[in-house]
Amino acid sequence: MLNINEIRTQFPVLDQQVYGKPLVYLDNAATTQKPLCVIERERDYYLHENCNIHRGVHYLSQKATEAYEHARQTVADFIHAKEAREVVFTRGTTESLNLLATVFEHMDCFVVPPRNDARCPKVLITAMEHHSNLVPWQQMVQRHNGQLLVVPMDDRGVLDLDRYEELLNEQPQIVSITHVSNVLGTVNPVKQMVKMAHEHGIPVVVDGAQSIAHHPIDVQDLDCDFFVFSGHKMYAPMGIGGLYGKAEWLEKLPPYQFGGEMVDTVSFEKTTFNVLPYKFEAGTPNVGAALGLETAIQFLQSLDRKAVEQHEAQLLQAAIQQLSKIEGLRFIGEAEQRSGLVSFIIDGIHPYDLGTIIDKMGVAVRTGHHCAEPVMTRFGIPGTVRASFALYNTMDEVEIFVKAVKRAATMLR
């Protein structure tokens, strides 16, 4: 069993009042709060280790370099990568996906006719993607008069795998899919989807922004070619995240940005590039945040991950059960396999109005389209109210949240 009260002592931000009410923080899908150990690790770096890495022979530079590379190994172990060089530090999921969309644009499959002799390149995504896993690919294929293929979903928020198979037969150059929807909470069968794509010889990117904090990740078991994530959604600082890529893929992809550190030799006539992972890490990195990410991972590993999963699942089920009793409430996303969050609307009430009144009762939820406008279009709604859970949330907070929703709905009707 998790000692939630003890865990919450690591998060002093939760021990405050807003509008005279105890804060109930249920906006974890947007960003999680940071434990003291993470805050203190980043602070300690700037107090005692701050230095540019990889470029100095003096003590501080070597110490910072060693700490940074140790953090990379910690990330690799956490997601079960084969080797640390398969982990590229980025600013987060968004930069990781932009990196991939940018470098794939320069691969031969996008500048010459693809192997199926079609006229245009194709990228396959799903109907439930966050804008970060839609817009970069959309813009890239449009520059090449290409096509964005989209796997549809049903009214429960479940992907149509038969249609997915049909779209794979159109031989897209790459598949990029979310592991867990940030709107619907749907847990997609990514291992099965990767296997299906590989049977067609197509590489797969998995967007793990909403899964990595809630479920153990094994990239070798998933067999995905790329996996991307953000630190700030898993108790780490903002501005840090990662891109995992199989070494054979990262070796043949071109650099993303150019400058210091990512080069091997430079002359006015020619530049050669550094080895993995450094050819993708131009410029001075966010060392302090990387060390904070490592500490967040260590924090998660200090807990019973299975107990964390069970606790969060219980919070979700309690919220669904209690909310379902509210007249006129409609869940958006009702897949059997859900994780981390619940989205809903109430007939005749705008989500923004509902969220605003709930906030005045001390409950922090997210309202709007959640950077997933096509999902809202699919369901014919302007947005949803989204409550998302983390390991420090409690059953009492779920009850406070539901009572706030009921009261707000009564006020707005």
**Active-site residue set:** 371
Report d(CA 243, CA 237) in Å as an integer. 16
- Of 1, 137, 8, the closest CA to residue 396 belongs to 8
Report yes or no: 232 and 200 within 8 Å, Cβ to Cβ.
no
Report yes or no: 369 and 289 within 8 Å, Cβ to Cβ.
no
Rg of the chain, C-alpha, whole Å: 22
Report yes or no: 376 and 382 within 8 Å, Cβ to Cβ.
yes
- Lookup result for tokens 């899908």: 29
* Local structure of 177: helix, strand or coil: strand
* Local structure of 87: helix, strand or coil: strand
* Local structure of 135: helix, strand or coil: helix
Ramachandran area for residue 385 (φ above 0: left; ψ -120 to 50: alpha; else beta): beta
Tell me if the bond preceding 277 is cis, omega within 30° of 0: yes
Reported residue count of the chain is 413
Q: Quickly list DSSP for 242-309.
A: EEEE-HHHHHHSPPSS-SSSSEEEE-SS-EEEPPTTGGG--S---HHHHHHHHHHHHHHHTS-HHHHH
Residues forming beta bridges with residue 204, ordered by sequence position: 175
Which pair of structure tokens corresponds to residue 165? 């198979």
Which pair of structure tokens corresponds to residue 55? 């470029």
Give backbone dihedrals phi and psi of 158, rounded to 5 degrees, phi first: -115, 130
